[in-house]
Structure formats: C-alpha cells, structure tokens
Amino acid sequence: MFKTGLANSTKGSSSPSFTSGEYQGQITDLKSQIVAARVTDIVLDENHPKWDIVGEWNGIGAIFYEFVNQSATGTATNYALPYDAQSKTYPLVNEIVLLFSLPDSSMGRSTNSKSYFYLKPLGIWNHPHHDAYPNPTTYGQNQLEQQDYKATEFGAVRQVTDGSTDINLNSPINPSQNTFVEKVDIHPLMPFMGDSLLEGRYGQSLRFGSTAKSKSTINNNYSNSGNNGDPITILRNGQPKKVSPKGWIPITENIRKDLSSIYLTSYQQLKTFKVASELYQSYTTPPIVPSLFTQPQIAINSNRVVINASSDSILLSAEKSIGLSTGGGVNIDATSNYISSNDIRLGSKDAKQSILLGDDTIEILKSLTGAIKDLATILQVERNWPEGVLATSYNSLAGNVLTQINSANGILSRLNDDSLKSKSTKII
C-alpha cells in the first residue's frame, strides 16, 4: 500500500493486510527511527565541558538525552542536533523532543551513516513558557503531582501556584548557560479561529489573526469594529507588568499595557490605544485619535521609540499632515534646519502678524537714525534770542539724542556691527 498509494490499496482485497513480512519490517524500522527523548543537557556556548564532543561551534544546540521509555543510563555521549538549521527552538533540560534517525555529515564516507536530529519540544503542558516533565523515577511522581498538577477527567494539567516548580531546566554541568528563569505568571495567548500564533517563553508573540467577534469570556481588544476576517498582525514583546499570577489562563494583547508592541491593522479599532498626548490645537480640523481610527494603520507603542538611519535619511511623508504632539517639549538639534513652506504660523494656527525681514529692517533703521542724528545736530546749536538777549546756547534734549546715537555702545554702533541680526535663522 505504501508503494502504490491508497487508491490502489483495495484492489483485489477488501481489507489490506499490514502483517506481511515486508510491511511489518518497514513499520518496525520506522519505529526505530522516530523516538521520544528527554533532554538531559544542551550545549549553547564554548564553556560546556562537552564542547569538543559535539563539534565546537558546529555543535551549537546539541542536546544530550535519555529515551523516555528507558532509564537514564548509558547516554553520556549520545547527542542530537537540531533538525532545522534555519528555524530553531532550543529545548530546556527535562523537556521532551522527538528524535529522527537521519543521514548525517558522515554519509559521504558511508551511505548508512545516521545520527539523531530533534524537533522542537513537545507541548506536554501546551504552554509557551516551558513544557518540562522530568523523569518520574528520579524526581518522584508524587512530588510532581503534589506541586505542579491538577487532575482532570483525561489526565493532568499544570497549574503552578506556589511560585516555582523546582524542576531543573538549565544545564547541570555548565553554569555559564544557566540563565533560564522560570516564571509561573507567564500567560499563553488566547487564540481565535484561523489564527497563526508564534509565542516565545517570556510573553513575546507574533499573531497573524483577524477581526474575531468571539463570544468567549476572554476577548481581544481589536474586534469591536470591522468584519470577521479583516486581517491584523500583532508583534508583542512582553506582557503587562501586572498580570494574574494564574499563568495557565490565556490572555490577549493590550497595546497600552504590553511592554512593546507593533500593530498592523486593516479595519480594526484599537480602543485601548490612548496615546501619551492628544493635543492637536494647531489643527483647524484635528485628526482622528488613534483609538478611534478604523482604517488601516500601523501603531507602535513602548516606553521609548528610537528610529535611526545610520547612513542615509529618515523620510516622513503624509498625504494630509505630520503631527507632533507631546505633553513636554519638541526639541530639534541639528547643524542646519531648513523649513520650506508658503504659510508658517508660530504660536497659534490663528497667528496673523508678519515677521519682519531683519536685514531690510536694519537698513531702514540706519536711515532713520541718520536723519534723526542730522536733525539733532542742527537743534543742538540753535540759539534763542528772546527780547534781544541770548537765552541759551545749547539744546540739552538734542544733545542727549546725539549721545545715544554716537556713543560706543550707541544705536549706530549696534546697527553697524549686525548685533541685532540672528546668526542662525533666516527668512524670505
């Protein structure tokens, strides 16, 4: 049947036999090539004592293991490499993986040369944080069940409430690799029909989903508008700081509370996305705030957002406007700033007073000051002869004007040395 296909398997027989020697041999051989194994150690850096055994840098991700249906003996040198060199999920110690016996790097010398390669960990507990299940013969089944399990009709579920499981999840012989910290409040994502989810161990996730107006008690924050099936993509790094300690209960993304998020929407409304500042007083017609917008948009939220172009430019372009809104200040630091516009208003969108042209204004002031100087010079020496008697030979008011004009720091000096002109800002 394996050779001819299902369509031909019933020809000449109403119930094909699987007990012939040939087929039975193939099934037995297949069983020997696919086995379940428990990870006992993993090599992730050059400090591992078995670094040389696994091939040094070529052995990154190599696991040591024990077969699940055997005791933990005789596996000191048995190791397996990742099955997929492009997409890898490195298992933790005590997680279960599937091993495949497949051709290895020595097949050039021997066509029968095979080694084990492993797939990503089995979802024993169906939880993204970890799915470890230590060997009951060494750890103690009763201890496991008392601390980490809750009985159900069809088996057990892992619902840790005591803060940790005390299961060894790190390398037993390489302290430099022991960085995994178990957190019992990491929640899986709530799925909706048709979703494709990729979840990390610490609350990172990528959802390829859609508007899903589900009637579940756990609902998402983006499906109150649009139609079922409208696509949405959500990249999330870290769940909210304050979450339920019941890490086995699913949650949904929250753009306002998750540590960092990128949303690519179609016709969803991100109702929880209240931005830091919705001050749009410079607009005659303010834009729709992000939490009410129901057309395609890209929303990014984090404590800080940094955009850097290392060798060229950052170009921002918009059909209507580019709005900058903040509760603090807008700071622009550059060696040069250029603004090209037919209408620039400062202080308010209703500003009507025009800015003076500095150079032309200085020239007009110079001319006006020169005329005043000439007039004051004449008035200074004016004689007054009331009733034929000299009343005064000096006009003090005109003299004071001349002093203000001609002194070292006077009006003419300041006009001529360009001290009134801006050194950095130019207008047309």
Determine phi and psi for 264, rounding to 5 degrees.
-115, 105
pLDDT above 90 (res 237): yes
- Residue identified by tokens 């302290």 is 175
Is this prediction's pTM over 0.95? no
pLDDT-derived band at 259, boundaries 50, 70, 90: very high
pLDDT above 80 (res 380): no
pLDDT above 90 (res 28): no
Please name the residues in contact with 124: beta carbons below 8 A apart, sequence gap of 6 or more: 95, 96, 131, 132, 133
pLDDT above 80 (res 24): no
Sheet holding 196-199, edge to edge: 196-199, 204-210, 231-237, 260-264, 298-301
Mean pLDDT of 70-98: 83
Contact 125, 158 (CB under 8 A): yes
Q: Which residue has the higher pLDDT, 193 or 139?
A: 193
Mean pLDDT of 67-86: 76
pLDDT at position 5 is 46
Q: Which residue has the higher pLDDT, 358 or 62?
A: 62
Residue 391 CB coordination number (10 Å): 9
Q: Which of 67-71, 155-159, 203-207, 258-262 has the lowest mean pLDDT?
A: 155-159
Mean pLDDT of 251-263: 96
Residue 39 CB coordination number (10 Å): 23
Q: Which of 1-5, 17-21, 244-248 has the lowest mean pLDDT?
A: 1-5
Contact 97, 84 (CB under 8 A): no
Select from 305, 301, 199, 220 the least CA-distant residue to 260: 301
Task: Compute the distance between CA of residue 229 and CA of residue 226 in angstroms, rounded to an integer.
Answer: 9
Residue type, 84: D
Highest mean pLDDT among 22-26, 63-67, 398-402: 63-67
Q: What is the pLDDT of residues 30-45, one digit of tens each?
A: 666 899 999 999 999 9
pLDDT above 80 (res 311): yes
Q: What is the pLDDT of residues 347-374, one digit of tens each?
A: 898 988 888 888 888 888 888 888 888 8
Mean pLDDT of 146-154: 56
pLDDT at position 11 is 46
pLDDT-derived band at 148, boundaries 50, 70, 90: low
pLDDT above 50 (res 276): yes
Mean pLDDT, rounded, of the chain: 84
pLDDT-derived band at 73, boundaries 50, 70, 90: very low
String of DSSP letters for 118-181: EPSPP-SS--SS--B---HHHHTHHHHHHHHEEEETTEEEE---SS------S-SS-GGG----
Residue percentage of the chain with pLDDT more than 90 = 53
The CA dihedral of 24, 27, 29, 35, to the nearest 10 degrees, is: -150
Residues, the chain: 428
Mean pLDDT of 293-306: 96
8-state DSSP, 58:
G
Q: Which of 2-16, 184-198, 232-246 has the lowest mean pLDDT?
A: 2-16
Contact 97, 39 (CB under 8 A): yes
Q: Coil, strand, or helix at residue 337?
A: coil
